[in-house]
Amino acid sequence: MSELQDFPMLSQLSDIHEKNAAFDCVPTSLAAALSYLTGKPYDGGAIKDAVYGVGYTGATAAIEYVAYCKAQGVVLASMSGLDPAAMTAQAHAQLALGRPVVFTEVDPYVPASYGWTHVCVWYADNGDELTALDPYIGKPVTKTDQEWQAVLRENQLWILYLEEDVTITIQTPIIAAHFVQRDANHWEVKGKTDAAGNPIILHDGMLSWYCTNGYKPYCGYSVAGLPTSNEIPIELINPPLFAHLAGKGIVVVYFERGAWVYDIHNTFGAPEGSGSVYPLKLYEAGSPGVDPRLWTANLSKLVQSVK
Protein backbone atom coordinates (compact mmCIF):
# COMPACT_ATOMS: atom_id res chain seq x y z
CA MET A 1 0.00 0.00 0.00
CA SER A 2 1.40 3.36 -1.05
CA GLU A 3 0.25 6.96 -1.05
CA LEU A 4 1.95 10.04 -2.46
CA GLN A 5 1.46 12.25 0.56
CA ASP A 6 -0.09 15.70 0.08
CA PHE A 7 -0.73 15.07 -3.60
CA PRO A 8 -2.34 18.29 -4.88
CA MET A 9 -6.05 18.23 -5.74
CA LEU A 10 -6.03 20.45 -8.83
CA SER A 11 -9.14 21.22 -10.89
CA GLN A 12 -9.00 21.91 -14.60
CA LEU A 13 -12.06 24.16 -14.18
CA SER A 14 -10.56 26.43 -11.53
CA ASP A 15 -9.31 29.06 -14.01
CA ILE A 16 -12.44 30.76 -15.38
CA HIS A 17 -10.32 32.59 -17.98
CA GLU A 18 -8.90 29.39 -19.50
CA LYS A 19 -10.88 28.84 -22.72
CA ASN A 20 -9.76 25.19 -22.94
CA ALA A 21 -10.58 24.31 -19.34
CA ALA A 22 -13.14 21.64 -20.21
CA PHE A 23 -10.50 19.72 -22.17
CA ASP A 24 -7.47 20.27 -19.93
CA CYS A 25 -7.56 16.94 -18.11
CA VAL A 26 -4.13 15.88 -19.45
CA PRO A 27 -2.17 19.03 -18.52
CA THR A 28 -3.97 19.33 -15.17
CA SER A 29 -3.11 15.72 -14.29
CA LEU A 30 0.49 16.46 -15.26
CA ALA A 31 0.45 19.72 -13.30
CA ALA A 32 -0.55 17.86 -10.14
CA ALA A 33 2.18 15.27 -10.67
CA LEU A 34 4.80 17.94 -11.40
CA SER A 35 3.79 19.88 -8.30
CA TYR A 36 4.10 16.74 -6.17
CA LEU A 37 7.50 15.75 -7.57
CA THR A 38 9.18 19.16 -7.63
CA GLY A 39 7.45 20.98 -4.77
CA LYS A 40 6.70 23.88 -7.14
CA PRO A 41 3.24 25.11 -8.19
CA TYR A 42 1.96 24.24 -11.66
CA ASP A 43 -1.27 25.03 -13.45
CA GLY A 44 -2.82 22.83 -16.11
CA GLY A 45 -4.01 25.69 -18.28
CA ALA A 46 -0.59 27.36 -18.20
CA ILE A 47 1.09 24.09 -19.20
CA LYS A 48 -1.35 23.66 -22.09
CA ASP A 49 -0.65 27.21 -23.23
CA ALA A 50 3.11 26.63 -23.06
CA VAL A 51 2.92 23.48 -25.18
CA TYR A 52 -0.03 24.02 -27.54
CA GLY A 53 -0.30 27.80 -27.53
CA VAL A 54 -2.76 30.18 -25.89
CA GLY A 55 -5.23 30.07 -28.77
CA TYR A 56 -5.52 26.29 -29.00
CA THR A 57 -8.74 24.57 -27.95
CA GLY A 58 -9.47 20.87 -27.89
CA ALA A 59 -8.04 17.65 -26.51
CA THR A 60 -4.30 17.26 -25.95
CA ALA A 61 -1.96 14.24 -25.85
CA ALA A 62 0.48 13.33 -23.11
CA ILE A 63 3.29 12.69 -25.59
CA GLU A 64 3.33 16.37 -26.50
CA TYR A 65 4.28 17.27 -22.93
CA VAL A 66 7.42 15.11 -22.71
CA ALA A 67 9.78 17.96 -23.57
CA TYR A 68 8.01 20.36 -21.21
CA CYS A 69 8.34 17.91 -18.32
CA LYS A 70 12.00 17.30 -19.14
CA ALA A 71 12.61 21.04 -18.89
CA GLN A 72 11.20 20.83 -15.34
CA GLY A 73 13.66 18.04 -14.46
CA VAL A 74 10.97 15.36 -14.67
CA VAL A 75 10.76 12.33 -16.96
CA LEU A 76 7.37 11.62 -18.54
CA ALA A 77 7.66 8.02 -19.77
CA SER A 78 5.07 5.85 -21.48
CA MET A 79 4.26 2.20 -20.89
CA SER A 80 2.30 0.89 -23.86
CA GLY A 81 0.66 -2.34 -24.98
CA LEU A 82 -0.75 -3.13 -21.53
CA ASP A 83 -4.08 -4.82 -20.99
CA PRO A 84 -6.28 -3.38 -18.20
CA ALA A 85 -5.05 -5.92 -15.60
CA ALA A 86 -1.44 -5.09 -16.42
CA MET A 87 -2.24 -1.38 -16.18
CA THR A 88 -3.53 -1.63 -12.62
CA ALA A 89 -0.68 -3.98 -11.66
CA GLN A 90 1.85 -1.46 -12.98
CA ALA A 91 0.05 1.34 -11.16
CA HIS A 92 0.58 -0.44 -7.83
CA ALA A 93 4.23 -1.11 -8.69
CA GLN A 94 4.96 2.46 -9.80
CA LEU A 95 3.20 4.05 -6.84
CA ALA A 96 5.35 1.92 -4.55
CA LEU A 97 8.32 3.70 -6.15
CA GLY A 98 6.78 7.11 -5.44
CA ARG A 99 5.73 7.83 -9.03
CA PRO A 100 2.39 9.33 -10.13
CA VAL A 101 0.64 7.32 -12.85
CA VAL A 102 -1.43 9.05 -15.54
CA PHE A 103 -4.09 6.96 -17.29
CA THR A 104 -7.04 7.20 -19.66
CA GLU A 105 -10.60 6.11 -18.85
CA VAL A 106 -14.06 6.31 -20.34
CA ASP A 107 -15.25 9.89 -19.87
CA PRO A 108 -17.80 9.67 -17.01
CA TYR A 109 -19.19 13.16 -17.67
CA VAL A 110 -20.72 12.68 -21.13
CA PRO A 111 -23.02 10.04 -22.65
CA ALA A 112 -21.20 6.81 -23.55
CA SER A 113 -22.36 7.25 -27.16
CA TYR A 114 -19.89 10.14 -27.52
CA GLY A 115 -16.97 7.73 -27.23
CA TRP A 116 -14.95 10.36 -25.36
CA THR A 117 -12.14 9.61 -22.94
CA HIS A 118 -10.88 11.37 -19.82
CA VAL A 119 -7.43 11.46 -18.21
CA CYS A 120 -6.72 11.22 -14.47
CA VAL A 121 -3.69 10.46 -12.31
CA TRP A 122 -3.37 7.71 -9.70
CA TYR A 123 -1.59 8.72 -6.53
CA ALA A 124 -2.51 6.09 -3.91
CA ASP A 125 -3.29 2.41 -3.55
CA ASN A 126 -4.85 0.39 -0.78
CA GLY A 127 -4.35 -3.28 -1.55
CA ASP A 128 -6.80 -3.99 -4.36
CA GLU A 129 -7.93 -0.37 -4.73
CA LEU A 130 -6.44 2.66 -6.48
CA THR A 131 -7.18 6.33 -5.81
CA ALA A 132 -6.90 8.93 -8.54
CA LEU A 133 -7.11 12.68 -8.74
CA ASP A 134 -9.94 13.38 -11.17
CA PRO A 135 -8.96 16.81 -12.51
CA TYR A 136 -12.45 17.59 -13.80
CA ILE A 137 -13.80 17.75 -10.26
CA GLY A 138 -10.49 18.33 -8.46
CA LYS A 139 -11.25 15.49 -6.03
CA PRO A 140 -10.06 11.94 -5.32
CA VAL A 141 -11.86 8.95 -6.80
CA THR A 142 -11.28 5.46 -5.38
CA LYS A 143 -12.22 2.22 -7.12
CA THR A 144 -11.18 -1.40 -6.91
CA ASP A 145 -8.73 -2.70 -9.50
CA GLN A 146 -11.58 -4.53 -11.21
CA GLU A 147 -13.73 -1.40 -11.37
CA TRP A 148 -10.89 0.58 -12.91
CA GLN A 149 -10.13 -2.18 -15.39
CA ALA A 150 -13.69 -2.00 -16.70
CA VAL A 151 -13.28 1.64 -17.74
CA LEU A 152 -9.60 1.88 -18.74
CA ARG A 153 -8.76 2.78 -22.34
CA GLU A 154 -5.74 3.24 -24.66
CA ASN A 155 -3.68 0.36 -23.13
CA GLN A 156 -1.11 2.92 -22.07
CA LEU A 157 0.14 4.57 -18.90
CA TRP A 158 2.34 7.62 -18.42
CA ILE A 159 4.73 7.56 -15.46
CA LEU A 160 6.39 10.64 -13.99
CA TYR A 161 9.58 10.67 -11.93
CA LEU A 162 12.45 13.03 -11.22
CA GLU A 163 15.13 12.84 -13.89
CA GLU A 164 17.78 11.59 -11.49
CA ASP A 165 15.47 8.70 -10.59
CA VAL A 166 16.75 6.41 -13.33
CA THR A 167 14.45 3.71 -14.63
CA ILE A 168 13.91 1.55 -17.70
CA THR A 169 10.79 0.12 -19.29
CA ILE A 170 10.14 -2.26 -22.15
CA GLN A 171 9.76 0.90 -24.28
CA THR A 172 13.37 1.93 -23.65
CA PRO A 173 14.89 1.31 -27.10
CA ILE A 174 18.03 -0.60 -26.02
CA ILE A 175 15.87 -2.71 -23.69
CA ALA A 176 13.24 -3.42 -26.35
CA ALA A 177 16.06 -4.68 -28.57
CA HIS A 178 16.93 -7.41 -26.05
CA PHE A 179 13.63 -8.26 -24.32
CA VAL A 180 10.03 -9.04 -25.19
CA GLN A 181 7.37 -8.35 -22.58
CA ARG A 182 5.23 -11.39 -21.79
CA ASP A 183 3.19 -9.36 -19.30
CA ALA A 184 3.76 -6.51 -16.86
CA ASN A 185 5.86 -8.70 -14.56
CA HIS A 186 7.69 -10.99 -17.01
CA TRP A 187 10.33 -10.09 -19.62
CA GLU A 188 11.83 -12.74 -21.90
CA VAL A 189 15.35 -12.37 -23.28
CA LYS A 190 15.17 -12.44 -27.07
CA GLY A 191 16.93 -15.32 -28.79
CA LYS A 192 18.52 -16.75 -25.62
CA THR A 193 17.90 -19.92 -23.63
CA ASP A 194 19.34 -21.28 -20.41
CA ALA A 195 21.51 -24.39 -20.08
CA ALA A 196 18.39 -26.58 -20.23
CA GLY A 197 17.12 -24.92 -23.40
CA ASN A 198 14.34 -22.95 -21.67
CA PRO A 199 13.53 -19.31 -22.49
CA ILE A 200 15.20 -16.96 -20.00
CA ILE A 201 12.57 -14.98 -18.11
CA LEU A 202 13.29 -12.07 -15.78
CA HIS A 203 10.30 -11.49 -13.52
CA ASP A 204 8.70 -10.00 -10.41
CA GLY A 205 11.13 -8.78 -7.74
CA MET A 206 14.24 -9.41 -9.81
CA LEU A 207 12.72 -7.57 -12.78
CA SER A 208 11.70 -4.64 -10.60
CA TRP A 209 15.27 -4.36 -9.30
CA TYR A 210 16.66 -4.57 -12.83
CA CYS A 211 14.40 -1.72 -13.99
CA THR A 212 15.09 0.70 -11.16
CA ASN A 213 18.59 0.00 -9.83
CA GLY A 214 22.10 0.11 -11.21
CA TYR A 215 23.26 3.29 -12.90
CA LYS A 216 22.65 5.49 -15.93
CA PRO A 217 21.65 5.13 -18.61
CA TYR A 218 19.99 1.69 -18.42
CA CYS A 219 19.82 0.63 -14.77
CA GLY A 220 20.32 -3.11 -14.36
CA TYR A 221 21.31 -3.58 -17.99
CA SER A 222 24.13 -1.06 -17.57
CA VAL A 223 25.55 -2.74 -14.49
CA ALA A 224 24.85 -6.45 -15.12
CA GLY A 225 24.06 -6.92 -18.80
CA LEU A 226 21.59 -9.61 -19.83
CA PRO A 227 20.55 -12.56 -17.66
CA THR A 228 22.16 -15.82 -18.76
CA SER A 229 20.10 -18.07 -16.48
CA ASN A 230 16.61 -18.32 -15.10
CA GLU A 231 16.09 -18.12 -11.34
CA ILE A 232 17.97 -21.01 -9.75
CA PRO A 233 16.87 -22.17 -6.28
CA ILE A 234 19.78 -21.78 -3.90
CA GLU A 235 19.75 -25.47 -2.95
CA LEU A 236 20.59 -26.42 -6.55
CA ILE A 237 23.75 -24.28 -6.59
CA ASN A 238 26.72 -26.24 -5.27
CA PRO A 239 24.48 -28.50 -3.13
CA PRO A 240 27.15 -29.42 -0.55
CA LEU A 241 27.21 -25.78 0.50
CA PHE A 242 23.61 -24.68 0.10
CA ALA A 243 21.32 -27.72 0.45
CA HIS A 244 20.44 -26.64 4.00
CA LEU A 245 18.83 -23.46 2.60
CA ALA A 246 16.15 -25.37 0.64
CA GLY A 247 12.65 -24.01 1.12
CA LYS A 248 13.70 -20.47 2.09
CA GLY A 249 12.72 -19.00 -1.27
CA ILE A 250 16.25 -17.85 -2.11
CA VAL A 251 17.00 -17.77 -5.84
CA VAL A 252 20.02 -16.69 -7.87
CA VAL A 253 20.16 -15.28 -11.40
CA TYR A 254 23.46 -15.23 -13.27
CA PHE A 255 23.98 -12.24 -15.56
CA GLU A 256 26.65 -11.49 -18.13
CA ARG A 257 28.42 -9.25 -15.64
CA GLY A 258 27.58 -10.65 -12.23
CA ALA A 259 25.14 -12.60 -10.10
CA TRP A 260 22.14 -11.34 -8.13
CA VAL A 261 20.11 -13.03 -5.46
CA TYR A 262 16.52 -12.66 -4.29
CA ASP A 263 16.87 -13.21 -0.56
CA ILE A 264 14.57 -11.65 2.04
CA HIS A 265 16.72 -13.17 4.81
CA ASN A 266 19.95 -11.34 3.87
CA THR A 267 21.75 -14.67 4.05
CA PHE A 268 24.81 -13.60 2.10
CA GLY A 269 25.44 -10.11 3.42
CA ALA A 270 23.60 -7.57 1.28
CA PRO A 271 25.29 -4.20 0.77
CA GLU A 272 24.03 -1.68 3.29
CA GLY A 273 20.71 -0.20 2.21
CA SER A 274 19.88 -2.99 -0.23
CA GLY A 275 16.49 -4.66 -0.30
CA SER A 276 15.56 -8.25 -1.01
CA VAL A 277 17.51 -8.27 -4.31
CA TYR A 278 21.24 -7.62 -4.16
CA PRO A 279 24.49 -8.47 -5.97
CA LEU A 280 26.43 -11.43 -4.61
CA LYS A 281 30.09 -11.39 -3.69
CA LEU A 282 32.23 -12.75 -6.50
CA TYR A 283 35.56 -13.42 -4.78
CA GLU A 284 34.61 -15.03 -1.49
CA ALA A 285 34.65 -18.76 -0.82
CA GLY A 286 31.16 -20.05 -0.09
CA SER A 287 29.38 -17.32 -2.04
CA PRO A 288 26.83 -18.50 -4.61
CA GLY A 289 27.94 -15.56 -6.74
CA VAL A 290 31.19 -17.30 -7.60
CA ASP A 291 31.21 -18.67 -11.14
CA PRO A 292 30.28 -22.36 -10.76
CA ARG A 293 33.37 -23.29 -12.77
CA LEU A 294 35.54 -21.75 -10.06
CA TRP A 295 34.03 -23.36 -6.98
CA THR A 296 36.45 -24.39 -4.27
CA ALA A 297 39.19 -25.96 -6.38
CA ASN A 298 40.07 -22.87 -8.39
CA LEU A 299 38.94 -20.07 -6.09
CA SER A 300 42.13 -19.80 -4.05
CA LYS A 301 44.23 -19.59 -7.21
CA LEU A 302 41.91 -16.93 -8.63
CA VAL A 303 42.09 -14.79 -5.52
CA GLN A 304 45.89 -15.01 -5.50
CA SER A 305 46.05 -14.00 -9.15
CA VAL A 306 44.17 -10.75 -8.55
CA LYS A 307 46.19 -9.70 -5.49
pLDDT tens digits in sequence order for the chain, 307 residues long: 789 999 999 999 998 889 999 999 999 999 999 999 999 999 999 999 999 999 999 999 999 999 999 899 998 988 888 899 999 999 998 898 899 999 999 999 999 999 999 999 999 999 899 999 999 999 999 999 999 999 999 999 999 988 776 788 988 878 988 999 999 899 999 999 998 999 999 999 899 999 988 777 789 999 999 999 999 999 998 888 899 999 999 999 999 999 999 998 899 988 876 778 999 998 887 888 876 665 544 445 444 444 4
In a domain, 167, yes or no: no
Are residues 244 and 138 part of one domain? no
Are residues 294 and 227 part of one domain? yes
Q: Of 162, 196, 220, which residue is a domain's last?
A: 162
Are residues 180 and 155 part of one domain? no
pLDDT of residue 118: 98
pLDDT of residue 299: 44
In a domain, 225, yes or no: yes
In a domain, 145, yes or no: yes
CATH assignment at residue 14: 3.90.70.10
Report the side by side order of strands in the sheet with 277-279: 232-233, 251-255, 258-262, 277-279
Contact 102, 29 (CB under 8 A): yes
- Pairing between strand 139-144 and 129-134? antiparallel
Contact 90, 157 (CB under 8 A): yes
Give CA torsion, residues 256, 262, 268, 270, to 10 deg. Answer: 90
Are residues 127 and 26 part of one domain? yes
Are residues 219 and 131 part of one domain? no
Q: How many CB atoms lie within 10 A of CB 265?
A: 11
In a domain, 78, yes or no: yes
Are residues 190 and 148 part of one domain? no
Task: Provide the domain limits for residue 177.
Answer: 173-306
Q: Of 136, 162, 188, which residue is a domain's last?
A: 162
pTM above 0.75, yes or no: no
Our count of domains for the chain comes to 2
In a domain, 123, yes or no: yes
pLDDT of residue 292: 64
Q: Of 162, 183, 218, which residue is a domain's last?
A: 162
